[in-house]
């Protein structure tokens, strides 16, 4: 629910705010009205775009939200369940709320996600984005597209902040495992992969994705991140990986695009090591062609080095040979004295329902873009969509009325 807020005169001449373009400043003010009485608001760019700037592109709004985070005017807070929310910094110093209502967004155990501006700039350079440019990029894990946004100031010089649209900065080695926020340990991932991964290692997350590949579209079964293929051996051995070095002088020929490649590469490497340990390198049995049972054990917490490979070597020494990986999986679980506990699957945070007005505005965007659906949710005519024929019809009427108004002589186009 929108609220009435105040703007102090010094806002317009603030040394930090004058470095933003007019749209970013307007978005920032609009977020005050969308925030609750404690300065907190949901971390949902699509919803915020509909509430504050319904005619602007969602990707542009998302990039400007991240720009405000990079500049320290917003803070992204991460909850234990993987969900996040935004907090407007210095809220009580600029807004007076006499009887604040209880926040439904703030959590007690949430933590601040803070990536230094210097690390953001180095990550942008690592992905081939030069100062003052906007560059296409993709999720390291699934290849979903996004953008790196390094804006210029009013003077034409590159700004100090880098923002990301459709992508988030993700720690390759989780912070819980000792990973830091240096650019060598940061990659770009989409919101879905970042939330689903949580504190799991890259290998555990990727193995789970590959094991479930049978339920994904055929294109997704065939392609995965090229970086994972190049570093799969290091992942399996638990080595620290140098994901990229800062380039002193950006060179287009040395840029390292993050593309998609064979999705089966990581499991192929796992199969090779397991076959070597079990002594069945050339066994053509059909039950040994899919290593899913072993991958399931690793996803459940069994260590490749401490459980899987030693058990396979022991089976080889004892002359035990099977025709399926399920047979070897049973050997592994029977031989371990302390089976690890499986990590519970991440729970998605419940998102508030969009109002009918929001759905109509989304449908208007869909019509204005020539029936091109720009949101992540299911679009008109697809299973699970919330855009009913009635909403679509009302949106068409609004778009037609708006076009007629613009076409009238004497009115602004």
For residues 10 and 3, what is the distance between their CA atoms, to the nearest angstrom? 21
pLDDT of residue 413: 40
Q: Do residue 394 and residue 366 come from a single domain?
A: yes
pLDDT at 254 over 70: no
Q: Do residue 372 and residue 333 come from a single domain?
A: no
Q: Do residue 264 and residue 393 come from a single domain?
A: no
pLDDT at 229 over 50: no
pLDDT at 198 over 80: no
Domain boundary among 342, 371, 389: 342
Picking from 62-66, 154-158, 341-345, 382-386, which range would have the lowest pLDDT averaged per residue? 341-345
284 located within any domain = yes
pLDDT at 119 over 70: yes
Query: Taken in order 138, 60, 66, 38, is the CA torsion positive or negative?
Result: negative
| pLDDT band, very low/low/confident/very high, at 33 (cuts 50, 70, 90) | very high
pLDDT of residue 325: 83
Q: Would you call 409 exposed, middle or buried from its count of C-beta atoms within 10 A (0-12, 13-18, 19+)?
A: exposed
pLDDT of residue 25: 92
List CB contacts of 127: < 8 A, sequence separation 6 or more: 135, 137, 148, 188, 244, 255, 256, 257, 258
Neighbour tally for 50: CB within 10 Å: 23
Domain boundary among 299, 318, 342: 342
pLDDT at 232 over 60: no
pLDDT of residue 412: 45
Q: Is 77 helix (H, G, I), strand (E, B) or coil?
A: strand
Q: Do residue 387 and residue 334 come from a single domain?
A: no
pLDDT tens column, 73-98: 999 898 877 788 999 999 988 898 98
pLDDT of residue 192: 79
Domain boundary among 285, 308, 342: 342
Q: Do residue 294 and residue 321 come from a single domain?
A: yes
Structurally, the chain folds into a number of domains equal to 2
pLDDT of residue 252: 34
Q: Do residue 362 and residue 263 come from a single domain?
A: no
DSSP one-letter code for 112 = E
In the numeric block, which tokens belong to residue 201? 């290692």
Q: Do residue 220 and residue 327 come from a single domain?
A: yes
Q: Do residue 321 and residue 381 come from a single domain?
A: no
Q: Do residue 218 and residue 299 come from a single domain?
A: yes
| pLDDT band, very low/low/confident/very high, at 238 (cuts 50, 70, 90) | very low
Is pTM beyond 0.85? Reply is no
pLDDT of residue 38: 93
List CB contacts of 274: < 8 A, sequence separation 6 or more: 291, 294, 308, 309, 312, 325, 328
303 located within any domain = yes
List CB contacts of 297: < 8 A, sequence separation 6 or more: 307, 308, 329, 332, 333
Q: At what angle do helices 356-368 and 389-407 cross, to 10 degrees?
A: 60
pLDDT of residue 208: 63
226 located within any domain = yes
Picking from 3-12, 32-41, 210-219, 290-299, which range would have the lowest pLDDT averaged per residue? 210-219
Neighbour tally for 81: CB within 10 Å: 16
pLDDT of residue 86: 93
Ramachandran angles phi, psi of 84, nearest 5°:
-145, 165
237 to each of 119, 156, 293, 306, 335, how far by Cα in Å?
27, 47, 19, 11, 21
27 to each of 23, 32, 64, 79, 325, how far by Cα in Å?
6, 9, 8, 25, 55
87 located within any domain = no
pLDDT of residue 224: 44
Q: Do residue 333 and residue 394 come from a single domain?
A: no
For the chain, give the percent of residues with pLDDT over 90.
14
pLDDT at 349 over 60: no
Query: Domain span at residue 397?
Result: 356-407
Q: Do residue 337 and residue 213 come from a single domain?
A: yes
Q: Do residue 310 and residue 368 come from a single domain?
A: no
Arithmetic mean of pLDDT, 373-380: 77
For residues 69 and 229, what is the distance between their CA atoms, to the nearest angstrom? 33
Query: Taken in order 355, 345, 215, 141, is the CA torsion positive or negative?
Result: positive
221 located within any domain = yes
């Amino acid at each position: 629910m929108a609220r009435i807020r105040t703007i102090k005169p010094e806002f317009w001449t603030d040394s930090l705010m004058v470095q933003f373009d007019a749209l970013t400043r307007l978005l920032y003010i609009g977020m005050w009205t969308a925030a609750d009485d404690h300065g907190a608001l949901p971390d949902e760019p699509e919803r915020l775009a509909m509430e504050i700037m319904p005619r602007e592109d969602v990707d542009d709004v998302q990039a400007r939200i991240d720009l405000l985070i990079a500049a320290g005017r917003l803070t992204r807070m991460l909850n234990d369940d993987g969900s996040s929310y935004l907090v407007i910094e210095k809220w009580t110093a600029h807004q007076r709320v006499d009887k604040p209502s209880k926040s439904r967004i703030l959590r007690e155990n949430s933590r601040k996600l803070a990536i230094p501006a210097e690390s953001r700039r180095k990550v942008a350079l690592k992905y081939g984005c030069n100062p003052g440019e906007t560059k296409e990029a993709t999720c390291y894990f699934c290849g979903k597209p996004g953008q790196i946004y390094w804006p210029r100031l009013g003077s034409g010089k590159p700004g100090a902040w880098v923002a990301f649209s459709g992508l988030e900065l993700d720690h390759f080695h989780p912070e819980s495992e000792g990973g830091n926020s240096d650019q060598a340990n940061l990659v770009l991932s989409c919101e879905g992969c970042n939330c689903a991964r949580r504190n799991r290692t890259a290998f555990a997350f990727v193995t789970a994705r590959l094991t479930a590949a049978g339920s994904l579209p055929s294109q997704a079964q065939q392609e995965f991140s090229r970086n994972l293929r190049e570093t799969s051996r290091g992942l399996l051995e638990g080595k620290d990986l140098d994901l990229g070095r800062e380039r002193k002088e950006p060179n287009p020929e040395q840029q390292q695009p993050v593309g998609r490649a064979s999705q089966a590469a990581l499991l192929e490497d796992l199969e090779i090591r397991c076959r070597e340990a079990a002594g069945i390198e050339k066994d053509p049995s059909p039950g040994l062609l899919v290593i899913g049972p072993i991958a399931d054990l690793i996803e459940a917490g069994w260590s490749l080095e401490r459980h899987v490979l030693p058990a396979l070597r022991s089976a080889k020494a004892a002359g035990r040979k099977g025709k399926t990986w399920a047979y070897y999986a049973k050997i592994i679980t029977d031989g371990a004295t302390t089976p690890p506990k499986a990590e519970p699957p991440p729970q998605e945070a419940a998102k508030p329902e969009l109002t009918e007005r929001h759905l109509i505005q989304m449908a208007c965007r869909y019509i204005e873009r020539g029936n091109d659906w720009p949101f992540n949710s299911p679009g008109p005519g697809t299973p699970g969509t919330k855009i009913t024929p009635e909403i679509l019809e009302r949106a068409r009427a609004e778009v037609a009325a708006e076009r007629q108004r613009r076409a009238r002589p004497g009115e602004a186009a």
